[in-house]
C-alpha cells in the first residue's frame, strides 16, 4: 500500500520497536505543522522530517519523524516513530494503513467553525478504522488536540468538547504552526501510555 521506499523506512524503524504515534485529522488541520514544530526542537530541525508518499490514493503525501523521546526532553518514553496521515478525505485507505501498529493517536482537530463537519467526519472514520484494526482503547492511547485556536473563527473549547469529546477524553489546545501546545500534547499522550502499562 505504501511505496517500496517508504515501506523500507517504516520496516527498518519497526525493527527497533519504536512507539508509533499517528497524527490524524482532516485536511489542513495542522498535522504536518505538529511534526515540524517537534522537529524544530531537535538539533537538525525540520530536515529530520521525511516527506513520503503512499502508493495508493494517488500518492498522497505524509510525513515521518523518527526520534527519541529524550531528545524532546520527554523522559522514559524511548524511541518514537511519529507519523502524519494525509488529510485528503478520499485518502481513507492510506490513513488506515498508517494506523497499523500504532501505540497512540493524536487527533488534530481544526477549531475553525467551518471545519467542524470535517473534524466529525474524520473522527468517526478514525473510530471505525481503529475498530477494524482491533486497536480500541486501552490497546491504543488517544489525545484530542484542538488546533488553530488562534483563528478568529475558532470555536470555543467547550463547544468543541460537546461536538468531539463527549466522553471527556484527554484533550489539549494548540497553535501548531507556532509550536504552542505541541509538546504538551505529545507528553500527555506518552504519559497516558506509560500509566496504562503500569
Ligand X SMILES: Nc1nc2c(ncn2[C@@H]2O[C@H](COP(=O)(O)OP(=O)(O)OP(=O)(O)O)[C@@H](O)[C@H]2O)c(=O)[nH]1
Binding site for ligand X (CB under 6 A): 25, 27-33, 84, 86-87, 147-148, 150-151, 175-177
> Contact between 147 and Mg ion (CB under 5 A)?
no
Choose among ligand X, Mg ion, none what residue 176 binds, the Cβ cut-off being 5 to 8 Å by kind: ligand X
Residues in the chain: 198
Q: Which three cell numbers stand for residue 145?
A: 488536540
What is the residue whose three cell numbers read 500500500?
Answer: 1
Please report how close the Cβ of residue 83 comes to ligand X at its closest, in angstroms. 11
Please report how close the Cβ of residue 6 comes to ligand X at its closest, in angstroms. 15
Closest residue by beta carbon to Mg ion: 32
Q: Which is nearer to ligand X, 18 or 25 (CB)?
A: 25
Please report how close the Cβ of residue 39 comes to ligand X at its closest, in angstroms. 12
The residues in 156-195 that bind Mg ion, with binding defined as CB under 5 A, are: none
- Burial (0-12, 13-18, 19+ Cβ within 10 Å), 7: middle
> CA 142, CA 138: separation in Å to the nearest integer?
9
Please report how close the Cβ of residue 121 comes to ligand X at its closest, in angstroms. 13
At a CB cut-off of 8 Å and minimum separation 6, what does 124 contact?
A: none
The residues in 6-35 that bind Mg ion, with binding defined as CB under 5 A, are: 31-32
> CA 164, CA 175: separation in Å to the nearest integer?
18
Amino acid at each position: 500500500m505504501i511505496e517500496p521506499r517508504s515501506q523500507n523506512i517504516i520496516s527498518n524503524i519497526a525493527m527497533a520497536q519504536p512507539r508509533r504515534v499517528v497524527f490524524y485529522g482532516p485536511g489542513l488541520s495542522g498535522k504536518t505543522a505538529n511534526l515540524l514544530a517537534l522537529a524544530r526542537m531537535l538539533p537538525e530541525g525540520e530536515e529530520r522530517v521525511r516527506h513520503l508518499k503512499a502508493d495508493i490514493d494517488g500518492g498522497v503525501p505524509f510525513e515521518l519523524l523518527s526520534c527519541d523521546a529524550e531528545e524532546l526532553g520527554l523522559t522514559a518514553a524511548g524511541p518514537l516513530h511519529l507519523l502524519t496521515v494525509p488529510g485528503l478525505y478520499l485518502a481513507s485507505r492510506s490513513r488506515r494503513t498508517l494506523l497499523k501498529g500504532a501505540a497512540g493517536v493524536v487527533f488534530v482537530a481544526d477549531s475553525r467553525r467551518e471545519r467542524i463537519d470535517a473534524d466529525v467526519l474524520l473522527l468517526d472514520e478514525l473510530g471505525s478504522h481503529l475498530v477494524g484494526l482491533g486497536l480500541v482503547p486501552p490497546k491504543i492511547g488517544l489525545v484530542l488536540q484542538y488546533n488553530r485556536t488562534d483563528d478568529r473563527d475558532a470555536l470555543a473549547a467547550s463547544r468543541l468538547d460537546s461536538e468531539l469529546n463527549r466522553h471527556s477524553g484527554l484533550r489539549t489546545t494548540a497553535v501548531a504552526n507556532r509550536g504552542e501546545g505541541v509538546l504538551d500534547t505529545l507528553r500527555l499522550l506518552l504519559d497516558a501510555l506509560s500509566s496504562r502499562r503500569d
